[in-house]
Amino acid sequence: MPELVALDLDGGRPFVDALVGVWERGDAVAVLDRRLPAPAAAELMAMLRPSAIIDSHGERRLPEGAGVEAGDALVVATSGSLGTRRAAVLTYAAVAASARATSQAVGVDPVRDIWLCCLPLAHIGGLSVVTRSLLSATPVVVLPSFDASVVEALGRRRKATHVSLVPTALGRLDPSVFTKIVLGGAAPPEALPPNVVTTYGMTETGSGVVYDGVPLEGVEVAFGSGG
């Protein structure tokens, strides 16, 4: 049975290498939120029940791992905005479909473009930047956290062409240094630069599925009262 492996690493090349290594052996990945206080981190581990964990010291086995199903790629904890936090399972097929659709929607050229990941990797908004880069063979730069000066400098030097941001981060840098900015996670400001694409999605959808109000190919959207 495939296993679930928790990654307890800062953003950077070691994180990407660990993710690729787990995927290559057919296991699934759960990224731990390193910002959580100890009680919340323990609660998250109890919910995920990984069979192993990879941190800066290497990989070690954990007792009573729950395992995953064949084809599962990611297990991502939801934000809990609708109540209790829970684990959303994303298959390799779902992650690959999201990577293809998103890359097409924002016109990414794997030969010319470079993704920048500066959002938390424990959430789908950040993690999906890494996974779509891997699955579309597009170069990616992964930062341990958002630093406006570092992010802007990478864009200005063309060391990154595409980036995913939240609205609060957008206002802290010059957006014109990027070819395209994918904006999500909260309501966007009324006035947006022409290179910004607004998105809507959920953890369960593997990233944004509506771009500038238009559903991605294969996505159906229905409006209702929720009652």
For 137-196, the pLDDT digits (tens) are 999 999 999 999 999 999 999 999 999 999 999 999 999 999 999 999 888 888 899 999
In terms of DSSP H, where are the helices of 75-220? 92-105, 124-135, 148-156, 167-170
The CA-based angle 129-131-192, given to 5 degrees, is: 20
**Would you say residue 226 has pLDDT above 80?**
no
Cβ-proximal residues to 73 (8 Å cutoff; 6+ apart), any chain: 23, 28, 29, 90, 91, 92, 94, 95, 131
In terms of DSSP H, where are the helices of 6-147? 13-24, 38-48, 92-105, 124-135
CA distances from 41 to 84, 118, 199 (A): 15, 21, 29
Evaluate whether 95 touches 83 at the Cβ level (below 8 Å). Answer: no
Evaluate whether 19 touches 54 at the Cβ level (below 8 Å). Answer: no
If you average pLDDT over residues 94-114, what whole number do you get? 92
Give the residue carrying structure tokens 């479909």. 97
> For residue 124, what pLDDT is reported?
92
Cβ-proximal residues to 209 (8 Å cutoff; 6+ apart), any chain: 98, 101, 199, 200, 201, 215, 216, 219
CA distances from 80 to 77, 111, 202 (A): 8, 38, 11
Give the whole-angstrom CA distance, residue 15 versus residue 18.
5
**Would you say residue 30 has pLDDT above 90?**
yes
Strand ordering across the sheet containing 72-77? 58-61, 52-55, 4-7, 28-31, 72-77, 87-91
- Of the pLDDT bands very low, low, confident and very high (cuts 50, 70, 90), residue 222 is low
CB atoms within 10 A of CB 51: 20
Single-letter amino acid code for the residue at 8 = D
Evaluate whether 77 touches 122 at the Cβ level (below 8 Å). Answer: yes
CA distances from 160 to 109, 112, 115, 133, 143 (A): 12, 10, 6, 12, 12
- Of the pLDDT bands very low, low, confident and very high (cuts 50, 70, 90), residue 205 is confident
